[in-house]
Amino acid sequence: MERLKVGKHDRKIIIQHPVETKSATGQVVIVWETWATLLANKNVDKSGIDKEGYQENKAASTQVTIWSIHYIKKVDAPTVPSPKMRVIETATNQMYDVRQVREIGRRRGWELKTEYKY
């Protein structure tokens, strides 16, 4: 059984999801709404090889980061993180695009594999 180590959750992050809305002119506009604000564990992959050992085929200007978060029970928004979401690290205001979501254990938490392009 996989466990989340709460003591390592030392980064405050905001997870946002896109929502379509109409502007004053009637055009469809995508805005970002906060899905959750929580503490997470940040694991930066500098090798270009993900945790399963597969080589990443990414440009040199891309940083892969894996965020571990605890399970959240939500009723007013998507209940599971999705690759359409983004993560904002509050200390640096850096935005990361979510690429993959993996469940940790049985409803213990999720790993969000993200990319930051600089």
1 occurs within a structural domain: no
Tens digit of pLDDT for each residue in 31-64? 999 988 988 888 876 655 445 444 455 555 778 8
Range of the domain at 27: 6-117
Number of domains in the chain: 1
Overall pTM surpassing 0.85 (yes/no)? no
How far is it, in rounded angstroms, from Cα 41 to Cα 71?
A: 13
64: domain CATH number is: 2.40.10.270
Beta-bridged to residue 42, according to DSSP, are 67
- State whether residue 88 is helix, strand or coil: strand
> Could you read off the pLDDT of 20-32 as tens digits, one per residue?
999 999 999 999 9
51 is a domain residue: yes
- pLDDT recorded at residue 43: 84
pLDDT at position 7: 60
106, part of any domain: yes
Phi, psi angle pair for 7, to nearest 5°? -60, -20
